[in-house]
Amino acid sequence: MDLGTMIGLLAGAAMLLGSILMLSDIRPFIDYPSMVMVGGGCLCAALVSFPIRNVLAVVKVIRKCFFTKQRDPREVIAQMVGYADLARRDGILALENLTAQIDDPFLVSGLQMAVDGTDPHVIEGILMCDLEAVEARHAEGRSLFDNIGKFAPAFGMIGTLVGLVIMLKNMNEPKTIGPALAVALLTTLYGAVIANLFALPMAEKLGRRSREEMFVKLIVIQGVMAIQQGDNPRVVEQKLKTFLPNKLRQMYAVRKRAA
């Protein structure tokens, strides 16, 4: 589980709730028609903007924010160097026996093509197409939350305008003006909270998850290409280390010495 995402959401909700309770009772901040207007409006706008399958898959997308474990690029590099060493020592056909033990279909696909003697340009082209397809699917999930982040404040404002219209129609009853205005403003509050505490941060997290996965896949592609070309394991390691920033390179060197 991604503790950062969980802590951020819970701490944000707790601080917001705590701030309200320090100043007032929670009951004035609960208004069901406002919730329906903002929440229902966002859902309907999402259904208009996206295929229904994308909207129905929102729970699966949210789960990725909490439970997707990203691979350490240093471990991936060490893994690819190990495969290069095995291919150099026992021949590239020796890698075929390892594919059943690898749980990364992307890596298995690349190694299998290398073992089969597929042309290097074909291998690279197929793996890059696979990478771009995954990136496009990730972009769809992120765009759903980006749009909710845009829709929520807009529907909050719509709800406020509706509330103001109702309030102005009842100006002959001064006692109702204050409560009516408070309710009208709640939709704006709900929209802002949904956008800035949930939807937009989720979109940013999904974008980061996608970039991290694409980064690892690029390392795999270059590793497979180097193995297919028969590069020395040290050369493979040097090639793949160029993907790492200086700090991670130093950590990789320390881990290698410790091993």
Task: Please give the pLDDT value at position 72.
Answer: 85
User: Per residue in 119-139, pLDDT tens?
Assistant: 889 999 999 999 999 899 889
Per-residue pLDDT band at 101 (split at 50, 70, 90):
confident
pLDDT at 79 exceeding the cut of 70:
yes
d(CA 125, CA 48): 35
The verdict on residue 81 lying in a domain is no
Banded model confidence at residue 99, pLDDT cuts 50, 70, 90: confident
The tokens describing 93, both together, are 């056909």
Mean pLDDT value across residues 231-238: 89
pLDDT at 256: 67
pLDDT tops 80 at residue 69: no
**Is residue 157 situated within a structural domain?**
yes
Specify the residue for token string 């951020």: 8
Whether residue 36 has pLDDT greater than 80: yes
Domain membership of residue 203 (yes or no) is yes
Query: Does residue 222 form part of some domain?
Result: yes
Domain count, the chain: 1
Grouping H, G, I as helix, E, B as strand and the rest as coil, residue 24 is: coil
Burial class (CB in 10 A: 0-12, 13-18, 19+), 163: buried
How many alpha carbons fall within 13 Å on the CB side of residue 27? Answer: 2
Burial class (CB in 10 A: 0-12, 13-18, 19+), 129: exposed
- Summarize the confidence of residues 9-22 as an average pLDDT: 89
Q: Is residue 253 part of a domain?
A: yes
Cβ distance 9 to 198 under 8 Å?
A: yes
Mean pLDDT in residue range 30-51: 91
pLDDT at 220 over 80: yes
Q: Which of 155-169, 212-226, 236-250 has the highest mean pLDDT?
A: 212-226
Inside any domain, residue 6: no
46 in a structural domain = yes
Query: How confident is residue 154, by pLDDT bands cut at 50, 70 and 90?
Result: very high
Higher pLDDT: 192 or 96? It is 192
The share of the chain scoring above pLDDT 90, in percent, equals 37
Supply the range of the domain harboring residue 130.
Answer: 31-72+125-258
What's the predicted TM-score (pTM) here?
0.82
- Whether 90 maps to a domain, the answer reads no
